[in-house]
Structure 1
Amino acid sequence: MSHPSSGLIAAILSASLLAGCATAPGTPPRSTVAIPGQLADSEAVRSDAPPSNWWRLYNEPALDVLVEEALTNNRDLRAASANLLQARSILSEARGELWPATNLSGGAGEGSTLEDQIAAASEGTDKIRTGPRFDIGTSVSWELDLFGRLRSTVKAAEADAQASAALEDGVRVAVAAGVTGTWLDACGYAHRADVARQSLALAQRGLDLAERLLAAGSGLPVDVLRAEVLVGQASATIPMLDAKRHDALTELAVLTGRPPAEVPSAAAACRRLPAITTPLPIGNGLTLLRRRPDVRAAERKLAANTARIGVAVADLYPRISLDGGAALSSPTVGGIASRNNLVWRVGPLLSWSFPNVSAVHARIRYAQAGEAAGLADFDATILRALKEVNQTAEDYGAALRRQGDLRAAADHSARADRLMQIQRSAGAATALEALDAERADIDAQAALAAADSDVTTTQVALFKALGGGWENAPAVVLPSPQRTAPVASVTGSSK
């Protein structure tokens, strides 16, 4: 004679087979983008892999210290680190669902229980005992995960945590590039301001000369007016250069976790741009994708979306758990220990939405669409990475060529100025002609100084596009929250 539940079990298994027309993919889809071996065609770059701490190529020890400080204290980086802790907590929760869940309960109150009602019915009376009641119980439930719902949930949480780790690395890249870039900006603006002050001093000398010539009857009033225009123009360039240098220094302070007024002294003292004289190493396509945190984050998000298809597909099948529980209920505290008051149960528990699975199929389609979107975003991120490196490498090459032309022009202008001063000493040139030669030399130096800044700006942009700077970065240590009442709250509330 067959067990009465065997027919039900067979029906469930048969229905499961019919419901399981959808299957979960085992691995995420591959990118549809062909990865090139060569990232850029420029003499300004070379194909060997760049160092992870690329800012050391500038050979500025004080800059190296500030980058390390920022990678530890930057507040945006701390926020990203906290987000990673949240993602890892979600992963721990998902892994915990793989194990049995236990519950302990207890209570005390006034009233009656189901047992009291059964006793009254068996005695043929409608008088149900009421009074104090003390209860204590425990239960255990363990989902067997026969169809992979929990395992797929864990895979999705793992991929989400890995994506959060990649996003944290992306902040590290931005912080390292930000510190290096603002340091170089501060140096560049300081140098350009020094050249502008030299130009102002030269313009003032020209004005003084024009006024002396006019007083001696050898000059014209229009020459004085023109000299005054040059003084005003030279003076007008200085305030904005000083302001931009100040902006760079305060930005550098905040990037390193300091208040804006606490400007790093080494950066404030820098007045010359450091130079990298060799072609920049950029690696190849595969090394780029391994270095770019945004590519890794997009790939991990795609993996999470694929895993969520498995979560949705598992809902086509029944959820089977092993459940057990025991409870004691007594009208007195002392009676709880009596075996006569023990109620227990153990056995399987099934939960299933079959045959109405239309909602489940809708969730599967939703998850599949999420995977398609994740793949498209992964492809787009790869293409964006390749584009950024290609474009910034070309911009860097153009900036180098422009710098080379302006350096040659500045050299020629300096030679012309020296020859003019020699002619002036020999009486073969007037004071105005010598002054014009000096002015042309200062203008050439100003143009070269601006070109030098453009070169370092494109260098940092290229290194940032390459995605390095996170590999050997120090760990971010989140400070313990301070909860003592401040003297003056930011919001004006002491609560």
Structure 2
Amino acid sequence: MALLMTGCVAGPDYRVPDVAIANRPGVTQALLGGRNDGVVPAPLSPHWWHLYKDARLDAFVAEALATNTDLRTAEANLGRVDALVGEAEAARTLTTDVSGQTTGSRIGGPTRFLPAPFSYALGMNVSYPLDLAGGIRRAIEEARDQSEAAQAARDQVRVIVAATVTRNYARVCADGVALAAARHVVAVQRATLDVALRMTSEGRSTRFDSERARTATFASEAAIPDILADQKTALFALAAVMGRIPSDYPRDLEACTTIPSLALPLPVGDGAALLMRRPDIRKAERLFAAATAGIGVAEADLYPQVSLGGSVGSTTSITHALTLSSFGLSVGPLVSWSFPNRVLANARIAQAGAEAHVALGTFDGTILFALKQTETALSAYMRTRERLEDLERAANSADKASGAAETLQRFGRTPFLDVLKAQANYADAQARLSSARIELVDRQIDLFQALGGGWE
């Protein structure tokens, strides 16, 4: 019976079912948002942050990938799961145990001091599991799948770390640009305030005009502390993701006034590349494979566990210790079968099957989420690009209008109130433009993160 069972493996062999989302035709096609201007269906660069061509950003990402605490935790967890693979593989190796015993007996009761005869027993047992039902093989398969899932989870942390570094780096620089723009607006409004005060003292303007100019100046100055606070927040976040304490944030970055930008259209690939690249999809698929192997582990309990075993030992009195006549040897199969508790085994099989269905649902859901997230990020990126172009044109027009109003006012051809209105429009346009620039970089990084690159 043991020989007839050789080669049989309990449980189903793993494959992605035909009904799975991953096998639907449209999943692997071009992304819907990949047909717009500003993106191309070219493969995503593994180190996508290099597309910004910023050596300082590259150095920060490299440091974070080497020192981030979340990554260290993920690496340690991967090491733990790899050790479980070794534990599962050890189940199909030789098992040995050695025993020894010495006994003495006395006849006649405790009051008679007769010499006590001593004897000993030494033995060693060796067994090797045949794994005829394949339970050990399925357990090893399950452990390896879980190890690959843990690796994908580690890769997902790398994606998040790279995106977080790039996002906070860009925000620091964008805040630097916003700060410069705000200070320029304040400088213009202060110059206007000086003119208003001089005209009021000369009787050519009213106190109402000078106070309105003072109010506009103070309002613009009030925006600067918020920008500085936002920049500090991004600097502290950048330090944390790089494994630094807050006081060790990169101080040289405070002077950054150049927002990272892409010179070329953003490469997004297609659906097939997305499924293979995103770590969360790989993790869900590997956990589904592990759950499928778990069915085989449970089904193997329905069959006898057969091992080849042998033992050698010596048992006799101390006076004849280790003589040839004292040794014994036995070799033969050892059969272990938890029969007739088939109810328990079937319950475990049903549980494993349900877990596999849950894992398949998670796998399908992860793919749908990845496609939705990517298409949403593409759409948001395109809309932000269009909005930024409109705001740039509006800011240029507001700048020209402000300058023209100042010129006309100097020659007495327009009221001072028009100058204040033009400058207020210019300040508002600059604030909205700075916000849109920050938003554009955020949308770019959202898209890169949705595409799942950066772990390679």
> Quick one: structure 1 residues 265 and 315, their matched pair in 2 at CA, closer, same or farther if it must change by over 3 Å?
same
- Say how many residue pairs are matched: 442
The separation in 1 between residues aligned to 2:115 and 2:209, in whole angstroms, is 117
Shift, 1:438, TM fit = 3.9
Residue pair 1:298, 1:377 contacting (<8 A) in 2 also:
yes
User: Alignment partner for residue 451 of structure 2, among 466, 479, 483?
Assistant: 466
State the Cα deviation string for residues 192-246 of structure 1 (Å, max 9, x = none): 1222223333444444444444444444444444344323422332222111111
The answer as to 2:249 corresponding to 1:269 is: no
- Seen in structure 2, the aligned counterparts of structure 1 residues 164 and 216 have a Cα distance that, compared at 3 Å, is same
Between 1:356-365 and 1:262-271, the stretch displaced more is: 262-271
Asked if 1 retains the 8 angstrom alpha-carbon contact of 2:274 and 2:452, the reply is yes
Q: 2:145 aligns with which of 159, 165, 185?
A: 159
Structure 1 range deviating more: 272-281 or 298-307:
272-281
- The alignment status of 1:293 with 2:279, answered yes or no, reads yes
Counterpart of 2:57?
Answer: 63
Which residue is equivalent to 1:78? 72
| Equivalence for 1:481 | none
1:365 aligns with 2:357: no
Partner deviation per Cα, 1:290-343 (whole Å, 9 max, x = no partner): 1100000000000000001011111111001112223445775x8653445445
Determine if the alignment matches structure 1 residue 386 to structure 2 residue 371.
yes
Picking from 375, 389, 400, the partner of 2:385 is 400
Matched, 1:168 2:154: yes
1:356 to 321, 341, 348: 341
For residues 23 and 348 of structure 1, do their structure 2 counterparts lie closer, same or farther at Cα, with a shift above 3 Å needed? closer
SS of 2:302's equivalent in the other structure is coil
Q: Aligned residue for 1:40?
A: 32
**Structure with the bigger percentage of helix:** 2
1:26 aligns with 2:20: no
Do 1:410 and 1:441's aligned partners in 2 also have CA atoms closer than 8 Å?
Answer: yes
Check if 1:457 corresponds to 2:442: yes
Find the residue that maps to 1:142 and give its secondary structure.
Answer: strand
Change (3 A) 1:451 1:340: same
Per the alignment, in what secondary structure is the counterpart of residue 369 of structure 1?
helix
Partner of 2:124: 138
1:82-121 equivalences in 2 (<5 Å): 82-106=76-100, 111-112=103-104
Q: Determine the C-alpha separation between the residues in 1 that align with 2:433 and 2:317.
A: 95
Q: How far apart are the structure 2 equivalents of 1:395 and 1:135?
A: 79
Instruction: Say yes or no: does 1:233 pair with 2:219.
Output: yes
Q: Residue by residue, what CA displacement relative to the aligned partner does 1:449-478 show, whole Å, maximum 9, x if unpaired?
A: 11111000000000000000111xxxxxxx
Output one character per residue of 1:121-156: Cα deviation in whole Å (capped at 9) or x when no partner.
Answer: xxxxxxx99676765432211110011000000100
Structure 1 letter corresponding to 2:248: E
Structure 2 residue aligned with 1:313, among 282, 287, 299? 299
TM-score by length of 2: 0.88
Q: Report the CA distance between 1:187 and its aligned residue.
A: 0.6
Residue 309 of structure 2 aligns to a residue whose secondary structure is strand
1:412 aligns with 2:397: yes
Gaps of 5+ in 2: 108-113
RMSD value over aligned CA atoms? 2.9
Task: Go from structure 1 to structure 2 and tell me whether the alpha carbon gap of 1:346 and 1:394 turns closer, same or farther (over 3 Å shift).
Answer: same
Q: Equivalents in 2 of 1:38, 1:369: separation in Å?
A: 34
- In 1, the alpha carbon distance for the partners of 2:304 and 2:354 equals 24
CA–CA separation in structure 2 for the residues paired with 1:391 and 1:47: 16
TM-aligned CA distance change 1:239 to 1:340, over 3 Å? farther
Which of 410, 415, 428 in structure 2 is aligned with 1:443? 428
TM-score by length of 1: 0.81
Q: Could you tell me the percent identity over the aligned residues?
A: 35
What CA distance in whole angstroms lies between the structure 1 residues aligned with 2:240 and 2:320? Answer: 67
Deviation by residue 1:78-100 (Cα, 9 ceiling, x = unmatched): 11111111111111111121121
Q: Which shows bigger deviation, 311-320 or 66-75?
A: 66-75
Does the residue aligned with 2:339 lie in a helix, a strand or coil? coil
> Quick one: which amino acid aligns to residue 450 of structure 2?
A
- Determine the structure 2 residue equivalent to 1:197: 183
Separation of aligned partners in 2, 1:295 and 1:319: 36
| Preserved CA contact (<8 Å) 2:213 2:420 | no
Stretch of structure 1 that moved more, 146-155 or 257-266: 257-266
Cα distance change on mapping 1:425 and 1:222 into 2, 3 Å: closer
Q: Measure how far apart 1:421 and its partner are.
A: 4.5
Q: 2:133 aligns with which of 143, 147, 153?
A: 147
Q: Note closer, same or farther for the CA distance 1:249–1:331 as it changes in structure 2 (3 Å cut).
A: farther
Deviation at 1:29, TM superposition (A): 3.3
**2:97 match: secondary structure:** strand
The equivalent of 2:111 in structure 1 is none
Q: CA deviation at 1:253?
A: 1.4
